[in-house]
Amino acid sequence: MNEAAAGRVQPVGTRHRAAAFALVWCLQVACDDKERQSQDAQHWVDANASEGSATHADESDAGASAEPVRVQVFSRTQGYRHESIAAGLAMFETFDQQEDLSVQSTEDPVRLVERLSETDVVVFLSTTGDVLDAVQEDALESFIRAGGGFVGVHAAADTEYDWPFYGELLGARFTSHPDIQPARVIVEAPRHPATSFLPAVWERTDEWYNFDRNPRDRVEVLLSLDETSYAGGTHGADHPIAWCQTVGQGRSFFTALGHTSESWSDSAFQQHIEQAVRWAAQRLAREQNAANASDVPARD
């Protein structure tokens, strides 16, 4: 064996110590890797647990913090004023006590229009005459066409005769009525939320309106009158008295009931109005429909 080869040969003790050091180093590396993997696994579990908790919290909060239906009740009159308006406003105040309904009332058209961006449904409560100017009419039309809801009650049909869009929104206009008297009301839409709880024939006392046209060809009729059960009807065998329709992206509901103050303390009539409001308040994203408002034709 030459010197070079001899120099590469290590003593036996030296080789054993090197092997021992190598074994210790490998064991330490293995332990470090195992600890690091354990820590990484724990981090992953913690991160996913936090994410899962946040998701469930968001879902829970979303359910708990659902915004109430926002309602504006408008009761301005420029003609005959119904005494029952006060009873109607009092009933809507009881709606405001429900967690999922938020109700404001006004007779100021400026205030009405200012609040439209924070409103789901506008209720015309026995309004009469010309209650909005041209600018305010355009604002309400844009609100409806972009997805807002409208509920007209009783003398809402005796309002805004010179505004063509309002005639479309309402479906028909008031022309006359006989004296207050009992009559039989026929439920034509037993599955609609505003009538589903009523008997097939609903007997009640009210002031029964006649209209300038039968709106059946453009609306869904919910209630109609049996003209053989009272005197003074002018529509014969087909006399709609409550109906609904879509207008643009919005919903419109009209009921001619509600002349008497006693109506507003009748639980069936109260439910009729409440469910009409809820039906009209469809949950459309108004920001997605904002473009539709710009399609409203300019007034001449």
State which residues of the chain have pLDDT below 70: 1-65, 283-300
In this structure, what DSSP letter does residue 255 have?
E
Decide if 96 is inside a domain: yes
Residue 230 and residue 183: Cα distance in Å, rounded? 5
DSSP string, 207-256: ---EESS-GGGTSEEEEEEEGGGSS--SSTT--EEEEEEEETTEEEEEE-
Q: Tell me the whole-structure pTM to 2 decimals.
A: 0.74
Q: 141-157, pLDDT tens digit by residue?
A: 999 999 999 999 999 99
Q: 155-211, pLDDT tens digit by residue?
A: 999 999 999 999 999 999 999 999 999 999 999 999 999 999 999 999 999 999 999
- For residue 271, the SS3 value is helix
Q: Could you tell me the CA-to-CA distances from 203 to 17, 255, 260 in Å, in that order?
A: 107, 16, 15
Decide if 300 is inside a domain: no
Clarify whether residues 133 and 265 are in a common domain: yes
Clarify whether residues 29 and 1 are in a common domain: yes
Clarify whether residues 5 and 153 are in a common domain: no
Clarify whether residues 98 and 21 are in a common domain: no
